[in-house]
Structure 1
Amino acid sequence: MTTMSIKTFTAVANKLPIETSILLRGPHGIGKSQVVRQLAAQFGLEVIDRRLSQMSEGDMIGLPSTDGEVTRFNPPEWYKAACRSPRCLFLDELNRATPEVMQAAFQVVLDRELNGWKLHPATRVFAAVNASAAYTVNEMDPALLDRFWVVDLTPTVADWVTWAKDGHVHDMVVDFIAGNEKWLDAPKDSEPGKVTPSRRSWERLSDALTVAGIVEDPKHELFYPMCLGYVGTEATIAFHSFAKTIENQVSGEEVLKDYAKCKKKVAKLGQEKQNVLIEKVSEYVTKSLKTLDENQGKNLAAFMKDLPGELRVSAWSKLTQGAGTDNLELAKSVHKYCVETVLEVFGVSADAAVKAISATGGKKAAKK
């Protein structure tokens, strides 16, 4: 499987030859069509979006006409447009199409032609399939897959947050997901037919709440029931609770950017919510930063210094384990700014710890 994040995929897709058709695979609601539209915008191409599961053979190849001697197929207007000028042709739900429509689509993918009508040389072709046992689909054999450059799209939470922050989703929804990543997508053990959250449903909920004028009014009688229909019961409960206490919420980014500004809020959170904030801070540091600059390091140290001893040690553990060996520079910077606050929990100063380590090393050397 060629599993990729959206960031990696878009970088690769930008470098592929124009004539290479791209197949995106992944569960519903992860933003496959949005990614195609983003790429089309980068290429400066208008998108022609066709959902093949809803098309008949005539919708795909056109209808016949005769001049009294021979029969010709008149291509659909959308296909003709992709032949006359550069377009981004997006064939969605390919594996839910009828066999006849699939065969016509494969001719477009392989030959860039359909019934004698050739695509414009600068037209790009994308296709998408929903990879899930919950759908009735037509399997694509290896010979057909071989006609595509195939990617199994696994967008990260950071991918979605970056996209959502670009004016696509209300800040309240983005902040909720940024601090509660497990609610972005449906649980893997979700029952078929049950309403669950998805990247698409959070966007739609944001739009609905905004249009209704209640996106910043979680106490409104329609706020909770409106959420239910988009993201389901469990996610609604969590989001509604978050929205009602938004004034007291603190993000990991806020702590690292200007801890003094949110210090009073942190003090009022209580130990349970401070533990949740530790998760947010750790997530932000280990997933968004490659190292800590001086301002971030001092803010992180000040935050940890205000935590109870047990939580301070917990924060240290999450930060160092999160950085791991994959990002030694980040681990070093966390150690540089925060180790002293952790040692204080055990009544040891940084200087004393260094001397103890040096002394131990000296004794070992003497024994040798």
Structure 2
Amino acid sequence: MNINEAVELIEDADEVGHVPLLIGVHGIGKSQAPKDYAKRNNMYFEPLILSLMDTGDMLGLPKEKTVGGLSSTNWSAPTWFTNIANAAWPQNFELVDLQFNDPDFQKTALQYMETEGVNRAALNEVYCKYYEVPNDRLRLLRQDNVTYKKAKRSLLNLDELNRAHKEILDAGLQLILDHRLHAHELPIVNGKETLIVGGVNPAGGDYSVGDFDPAFIDRILEAVVEPDLKTSIDYYRNINVEPVIIDFLQEHPSKLHFCPEDGSKGTSPRTWERVDQYLKAAKATKKSKERITRYLKSSLGTSVGIQFMAFYSDYASAFRYDDLVAELTDIVNNNPQLGKQAQADLISEKIASLESVKRMDFADSFIKNAFKEKPKTDPEVALVYFYALPLENLAAVLKALQTEDVVTYAQLAKVDKQHNNKKLFMKLVGYSVDK
């Protein structure tokens, strides 16, 4: 599955209280998927890269406590747990932000906090006294007798789970299985457990990883996430990645995630984001070609770096979407006496010379810019482009629109009727009959 599908899987797992485990190679967005889900659902996001953590980071620090003459070891709350607890129950709050579901407890709690102060520690203390439970932990986190109206649920992302040291791995497994670590219990907010999402690199690849036992595997939801060109391209467009990167990847899709056989530097979807940042900086500061080449080889690996640099150097003279719109606009404005097919014939040879992937990408751009809300491109200009497409590409575009976006399909049909008496669609019917 791709990253978008992984986000949907997290949503499905969350609805039924399951723990998804995202399995995939580095740099494809395994960490971004849970982060996106948390942002979409207004959750606090706590990422842990377990392979980089030591015992103190994960478990907190041990401390000795004497009770009734007996010494025992307790663990201080680690920072990541404190962050999650504070999101659910802050240390200080206003009384109006509390919802009491036990009227008798409400009366006792309000009287107690009048003298002890309005804060989490005081409320937890009176809670423990009233319900006769030990005041040895933050009991407020997992009860519903009193709730904090502004509580924020958390998503705990356990990344690189199978690359962690044994003590860290065991702690992560306890969190997944029990939603607790020693006395530190993960909060329940609005009746829902803290969401845990795991991330691992695949076994059998060039990773130092451990295997999970069958009992653990039986308790989690495995999801294999793979690099996906279309999803990555859509994402890159949304964050305004340099067009040269998008066009390069469309012509060389195998370079989206490339691992050289000799184990040297390769690429991943994350790599291309870094390259985008560099190219924007290089353009702003007018770096020399030699400096850019050195950086690209270091970032992309020697073979891909050289290949991309050659593409980058030739890109200024390449045929791009803006150039195409300008040329088609001139054709439409300067040849009003011609029908749309005749106008398209003036540029069809150039369109046919393009890679099929680029033709389809241009078609997507015309659909987005000419037929969506607040169009940036004249729909009549877009119509001429569709007439200029080879029939197999036109058939693929219209079939996809009819299946996935009937509103845009209808808009295109309307423009074709207004300007050329539905001949675009009639052209396609003839092609279908011939096929």
Normalising by structure 2, what TM-score? 0.62
Deviation at 1:30, TM superposition (A): 0.7
Deviation at 1:108, TM superposition (A): 0.4
Deviates more, 1:166-175 or 1:77-86: 166-175
SS of the residue corresponding to residue 274 of structure 2 reads helix
Could you report, residue by residue, the CA deviation over 1:263-312 in whole angstroms, capped at 9, with x for unpaired residues? 8xxx9x9x99964433311466599989x9885553122x34xxxxxxxx
Flag the 1:329–1:66 CA change in 2: closer, same or farther, 3 A: closer
Equivalent residue letter for 1:125: I
Q: Is the 8 A contact 2:271 2:299 kept in 1?
A: yes
CA distance in 1, matches of 2:237, 2:401: 26
CA distance in 1, matches of 2:85, 2:50: 19
The equivalent position to 2:199 in structure 1, one of 95, 108, 128, is: 128
Flag the 1:300–1:319 CA change in 2: closer, same or farther, 3 A: closer
CA distance in 2, matches of 1:177, 1:249: 15
Flag the 1:66–1:170 CA change in 2: closer, same or farther, 3 A: same
Could you report, residue by residue, the CA deviation over 1:151-186 in whole angstroms, capped at 9, with x for unpaired residues? 111242221122222336334323433454332111
CA distance in 2, matches of 1:135, 1:192: 15
Deviation at 1:96, TM superposition (A): 0.6
The equivalent position to 1:100 in structure 2, one of 167, 171, 179, is: 167
Aligned residues: 323
Higher radius of gyration, 1 or 2: 2
What pairs with 1:15-30 in structure 2 (closer than 5 Å)? 15=12, 16-17=14-15, 19-30=17-28
Q: Tell me the residue number matched to 1:309.
A: none
Deviation at 1:125, TM superposition (A): 1.3
The equivalent position to 2:234 in structure 1, one of 151, 162, 168, is: 162
CA distance in 2, matches of 1:27, 1:262: 47
The equivalent position to 2:295 in structure 1, one of 223, 226, 240, is: 226
CA distance in 1, matches of 2:355, 2:163: 43
The equivalent position to 1:110 in structure 2, one of 162, 171, 177, is: 177
Flag the 1:112–1:168 CA change in 2: closer, same or farther, 3 A: farther
Q: Is the 8 A contact 2:10 2:34 kept in 1?
A: no
Equivalent residue letter for 1:337: L
Equivalent residue letter for 1:103: D
The equivalent position to 2:358 in structure 1, one of 277, 280, 284, is: 280
Deviation at 1:113, TM superposition (A): 0.6
CA distance in 1, matches of 2:330, 2:292: 28
CA distance in 2, matches of 1:97, 1:253: 49
Deviates more, 1:281-290 or 1:228-237: 281-290
CA distance in 2, matches of 1:262, 1:156: 37
The equivalent position to 1:298 in structure 2, one of 371, 380, 384, is: 384
Flag the 1:329–1:204 CA change in 2: closer, same or farther, 3 A: closer
Equivalent residue letter for 1:72: N
Q: Tell me the residue number matched to 2:142.
A: none
What pairs with 1:188-199 in structure 2 (closer than 5 Å)? 190-199=260-269
Deviates more, 1:237-246 or 1:26-35: 237-246
Q: Tell me the residue number matched to 2:81.
A: 79
CA distance in 1, matches of 2:186, 2:216: 20
Aligned residues: CA RMSD: 4.2
Q: Is the 8 A contact 1:218 1:244 kept in 2?
A: no
CA distance in 1, matches of 2:163, 2:33: 20
Whether 1:9 and 2:80 are equivalent positions in the alignment is no
SS of the residue corresponding to residue 210 of structure 2 reads coil
Q: Tell me the residue number matched to 1:177.
A: 249
Whether 1:337 and 2:424 are equivalent positions in the alignment is yes
The equivalent position to 1:203 in structure 2, one of 245, 268, 273, is: 273
Deviation at 1:237, TM superposition (A): 2.9
Consecutive unaligned residues in structure 2, runs of 5 or more: 88-152, 332-344, 372-378, 414-421
Normalising by structure 1, what TM-score? 0.72
CA distance in 1, matches of 2:366, 2:350: 24
Equivalent residue letter for 2:50: L
Q: Is the 8 A contact 1:205 1:227 kept in 2?
A: yes
Deviates more, 1:244-253 or 1:138-147: 244-253
Percent of residue pairs bearing the same amino acid type: 23
Consecutive unaligned residues in structure 1, runs of 5 or more: 305-314, 343-349, 358-368
Q: Is the 8 A contact 2:2 2:231 kept in 1?
A: yes
